[in-house]
């Protein structure tokens, strides 16, 4: 890893950490940046989780400092199925080849970019799901979080809107969900040998700084300041992973 690679991961990680704290989708940037820095696709996916873990801790502490917390009882139908799903997803994605993963990730980024543009609105007038449906939904989201993780915050916000949560509270729940899912997925990636520690730790520093700052911006309504930049960057990186615009990088 060169000094330029480290700088890109540090700055890109800070930007993505802020995006993750405010809504989600930061991994649409960090996984491709790890690939550009020379980390193979599946290892980039695993290495990204180190920073996801630390940035979610930073985001949660920042939310808490801003006085935003949630009742643990509200997580009883969310976290347990997410843990099981994350284990299934992390193990399954680790079986892919690097080239296949990069193509899959590039394709997944396209609907995620659309979801970012048409961000789900939090509703307060919907009926809550029955317990069985809630468990099933968050089990499936857990699988996705364990396997890909990118954009899981956007999907979570759409699901959490059914509970009538305001945007800030939904973001706090999203951070907690992602933290626990990553706690399950990361050891699996480590055991499968899919972590490159030096790039992962550099990225983790950037993500943690961004996660702290992003949580404050989320509480104070600063999300719109960086969304458009993220969308443009994500489109360019998706084209890179899919083999287009190779001359850009």
CA atoms of 175 and 111, how far apart (whole Å): 22
User: Residue 240: what pLDDT?
Assistant: 64
Per domain, the residue ranges of the chain are 3-248
What are the CA-CA distances from residue 184 to residues 32, 181, 207, 240 (Å)?
22, 5, 19, 30
pLDDT higher at 92 or 20: 92
Q: What is the mean pLDDT of the chain?
A: 82
Per-residue pLDDT tens for 199-235?
Answer: 999 999 998 888 888 777 666 655 555 566 566 666 7
Distances (CA, A) of 167 to 44, 79, 130, 154: 30, 19, 22, 12
Banded pLDDT at 247 (limits 50, 70, 90) = very low
Q: What is the pLDDT of residue 227?
A: 60
**pLDDT above 70 as % of the chain:** 78
pLDDT at 234: 66
43-63, pLDDT tens digit by residue?
999 999 999 898 888 888 888
Identify the band that residue 105 occupies on the pLDDT scale cut at 50, 70 and 90. Answer: confident
Highest mean pLDDT among 25-29, 93-97, 148-152, 211-215 belongs to 93-97
- 123-137 pLDDT, tens digit each: 555 556 788 988 999
Dist CA 63 CA 77 (whole Å): 22
Grade residue 72 by pLDDT with cuts at 50, 70 and 90: confident
**Digit-coded pLDDT (tens) for 154-198:** 788 778 776 666 667 777 888 889 899 999 999 999 999 999 999
Q: Give the separation between CA 89 and CA 147, rounded to whole angstroms.
A: 4
Q: Highest-confidence range of 66-75, 91-100, 238-247, by mean pLDDT?
A: 91-100
């Amino acid at each position: 890893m060169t000094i330029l690679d480290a700088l890109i991961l540090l700055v890109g990680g800070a930007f993505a950490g802020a995006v993750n704290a405010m809504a989600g989708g930061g991994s649409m940037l960090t996984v491709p940046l790890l690939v550009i820095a020379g980390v193979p696709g599946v290892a980039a996916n695993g290495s990204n989780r180190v920073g996801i873990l630390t940035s979610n801790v930073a985001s949660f502490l920042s939310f808490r400092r801003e006085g935003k917390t949630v009742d643990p009882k509200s997580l009883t139908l969310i976290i347990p199925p997410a843990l099981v799903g994350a284990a299934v997803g992390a193990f399954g994605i680790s079986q892919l080849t690097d080239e296949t993963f990069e193509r899959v990730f590039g394709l997944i980024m396209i609907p995620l970019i659309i979801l970012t543009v048409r961000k789900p609105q939090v509703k307060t007038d919907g009926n809550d799901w029955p317990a069985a449906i809630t468990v099933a939904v968050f089990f499936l989201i857990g699988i996705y979080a364990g396997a890909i993780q990118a954009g899981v915050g956007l999907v979570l916000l759409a699901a959490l809107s059914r509970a009538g949560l305001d945007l800030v509270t939904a973001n706090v729940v999203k951070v907690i969900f992602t933290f626990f899912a990553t706690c399950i997925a990361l050891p699996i990636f480590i055991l499968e040998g899919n972590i490159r520690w030096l790039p992962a730790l550099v990225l983790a520093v950037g993500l943690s700084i961004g996660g702290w700052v992003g949580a404050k911006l989320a509480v104070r309504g600063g999300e719109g300041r960086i969304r458009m930049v993220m969308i443009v960057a994500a489109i360019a990186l998706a084209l890179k992973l899919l083999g287009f615009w190779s001359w850009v990088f």
